[in-house]
Amino acid sequence: MVANQSSLTALVTGATGFVGSHLISRLVSIGWQVHIIIRPNSKLQLLESVRDRITIHTHDGTTEDLFRIMESAKPTVVFHLASIFLAQHTPEDIAPMLQSNITFATQLVEAMVAQKIYYLINTGTSWQHYENKEYSPVCLYAATKQAFEAIIQFYIETTPLQVITLKLFDTYGQNDPRQKLFALLEKTANQKELLAMSPGEQLIELVYIDDVIDAYILALERLLSGKVQGHEKYQVSTGSPIKLKEIVEVYEQETGTNLPIQWGGRPYRPREVMVPWNQGKLLPGWKTKISIREGIRKVKGSVKPAS
């Protein structure tokens, strides 16, 4: 592990989100100087415990402002996690999603290379690989992730930029504000109202947040060691996907509940991922440490029930 590298600086986007806030805590704990880029309306609740130990830059949306931020932070490495995630979009979502997932991301890399900053850790999604294909986006969000990878290729070919893209699957853990599976189950347990779910036969890759953050730190070490040539891409997965129904069973066992779930009470989503992508490579030296049962033990009672 990288220990106490206090002269090294990381610049992080998406820091106010679930994964980003956990990454910031880890980077601060191992002695990195951390700068983050936020939007004027970003909420900082998830960063409360580290707020006085990080430098916050508010981006006005322009390329020039990102140049200013990059020049001021002068990071050793940039972690890019900012994104708008939407499983399904409406026409109104297109402009903000492309702004966040493509324009902002490209401005970021342009500003990096202008300042001769050549280490980037980018974040992709397993949803770029529907039905295990080399490229098949589950939804428009996944297509924007792929589009940014295509843009990175330009910078790889024209500058010394070195990139690792970590492709995430489902993540879970403490301090998760997102209204995801465990928040929904917690609410169902509290309110004892019938919960209509899909038939539940889809296999899911759920990776505990500490394991996900280990992957970012290992990617950082790999970049710093000079082993990366061009653009390396890795999947951050357990390798042992579990059916949704079975995850709920483990949750019930660990919380001593019997949830009123109506399996099949709602249809699968369009392009539901029934079998997660498994054709990618794992980051050398990384594997998950926390089983789903251990992870549920850690999160139970700590997630905010879905509203």
Ligand X SMILES: NC(=O)c1ccc[n+]([C@@H]2O[C@H](COP(=O)([O-])OP(=O)(O)OC[C@H]3O[C@@H](n4cnc5c(N)ncnc54)[C@H](OP(=O)(O)O)[C@@H]3O)[C@@H](O)[C@H]2O)c1
Shortest approach of ligand X to residue 63 CB, angstroms?
Answer: 13
Least distance to ligand X from the beta carbon of 269, Å?
Answer: 15
Sign of the alpha-carbon dihedral angle for 220, 10, 109, 237: positive
Nearer to ligand X, 223 or 236 (CB): 236
Query: Which residue's CB is nearer to ligand X, number 119 or number 253?
Result: 119
Say if residues 216 and 283 touch (Cβ distance below 8 Å).
no
DSSP state of 15: T
Q: Is the dihedral of CA 297, 1, 80, 64 positive or negative?
A: positive
In the complex with ligand X, the residue whose CB is nearer, 8 or 84, is 84
Q: Toward ligand X, which CB reaches closer, 5 or 53?
A: 53
Alpha-carbon distance of 161 to 139, in angstroms, equals: 28
The rounded distance, in Å, linking the Cα atoms of 65 and 117 is 16
**Cβ(5)–Cβ(217) under 8 Å?**
no
Q: Closest approach of Cβ 220 to ligand X, in Å? A: 16
Residues at the contact surface with ligand X, assessed by CB under 6 A: 13-20, 37-39, 42-43, 81-85, 99-100, 104, 123, 125, 168, 170-171, 178
State which residue, 93 or 226, has the beta carbon closest to ligand X.
93
* Structural contact between residues 59 and 37, judged by C-beta atoms closer than 8 angstroms: yes
Instruction: Decide if 143 contacts 186 (C-beta within 8 A).
Output: no
Task: Name the residue number minimizing CB distance to ligand X.
Answer: 17
Instruction: CB nearer to ligand X: give 40 or 256.
Output: 40
Nearest to 277 by CA among 128, 124, 149, 87: 128
Quote the least distance from Cβ 256 to ligand X, whole Å.
27
